[in-house]
Amino acid sequence: MKMNFWTAMVRLLPAAPCLLLLAACQDLLHLEPMEPADIKVPELVAHMSQATDPELKYHNCKSYLMKQTFSVIQSGAKETMSIETRFQAPDKMRLTTYKDNRPTVIQIYNAGNAWNYDCATRRTTKIPKGLPTELMRIFTQMGTPSMDATKIFKTVSIDMEIKDGYKTYRLICDPGVKGIAPYVFYINGKTYLTEKMETIMYINGEEYLYVNIPADYTWYENNSIRLPVTSTVTQMDITRISKMTDFKINIDFPESDFLPPVPFSHQKQPAAKKAK
């Protein structure tokens, strides 16, 4: 599955806190049986790729830069922030969250290792191995242009629903990792664009349904890559509404972007000159 239809959606996972959450069991997803699909997973994948990446420019790109603004609405209060995503093939990702144009949190995934960097305290925390790192692996792979669902998830099943004459396909993508719920995608049977993504998050001993609804699909990179401009995420009593502000492929990033920042005091200082 060419993942450009997921790229913008997964970016809307809330910044620092969410990537540390453990996904949970699937009970809240209410995966009631649907009708057997009239196509197989590979055929749907091909349709989705044609709808979003017909020239395979995204699939073949080696890096990309994505910028988004998002508003967080909770208990009637609204807060606006922005997030920048940098991806470098094959498996490096950096997310920087900004508030008032100042970086607040940096998250990095690099070949199985992951870190959080608090910009205020200049403190780096290594993400522990196990479920937290597995979630960041899945998160990164979902935003990796060359990856498809069958490479990311252990199993991918398909069924469909026909309602009011409209067909919707459902992909249930199970990572096969205990403690991580399936990621469920609903695909429009006419446009082959993703209409909704659901999964379960586990926060402070409680499980919550996570719903992401992309919209306003628009062409980028000279009308070759199609991505949702806006996305609405609901989780608990929090709503996050995002808007894409920039997207570019094949950017040259320094390798240091995908390593934890080194505090100035820890950087190598030039040797002092000896007094004559």
The pTM of the full predicted model, rounded to 2 decimals, is 0.85
Residue indicated by tokens 């522990």: 128
Structure-token pair, residue 264: 């100035």
How much is the average pLDDT of 202-219? Answer: 87
> What are the residues whose beta carbons fall under 8 Å from the beta carbon of 270, sequence distance 6 or more?
none
pLDDT band at 19 (very low <50, low <70, confident <90, very high): very low
CA distances from 207 to 24, 27, 30, 112, 254 (A): 7, 9, 13, 26, 39
> What are the residues whose beta carbons fall under 8 Å from the beta carbon of 200, sequence distance 6 or more?
23, 24, 25, 26, 27, 28, 29, 181, 207, 208, 209, 210
State the Cα angle at 227 between 222 and 228, rounded to 5°: 135
Domains of the chain, residue spans: 4-262
Spell out the CATH class of 4-262: mainly beta
Q: Tens digit of pLDDT for each residue in 73-121? A: 988 899 999 999 999 999 999 999 999 999 999 999 999 999 999 999 9
Q: Closest Cα partner for 71 from 61, 82, 62, 60?
A: 82
Strand partners, 228: 217
Strand partners, 243: 69, 230
Q: Closest Cα partner for 3 from 100, 145, 120?
A: 145
Q: Tens digit of pLDDT for each residue in 221-256? A: 999 999 999 999 988 888 999 999 999 999 999 999
The C-alpha atoms of residue 227 and residue 216 are separated, in whole angstroms, by 8
Residue indicated by tokens 């991580």: 180
Percent pLDDT > 70 in the chain is 84
Q: Tens digit of pLDDT for each residue in 120-154? A: 999 999 999 988 899 899 999 999 999 888 889 99
* Most distant pair of Cα atoms in the chain: their distance: 89
- Cβ-contact 79, 56 below 8 angstroms: no
Q: Closest Cα partner for 161 from 18, 17, 32?
A: 32
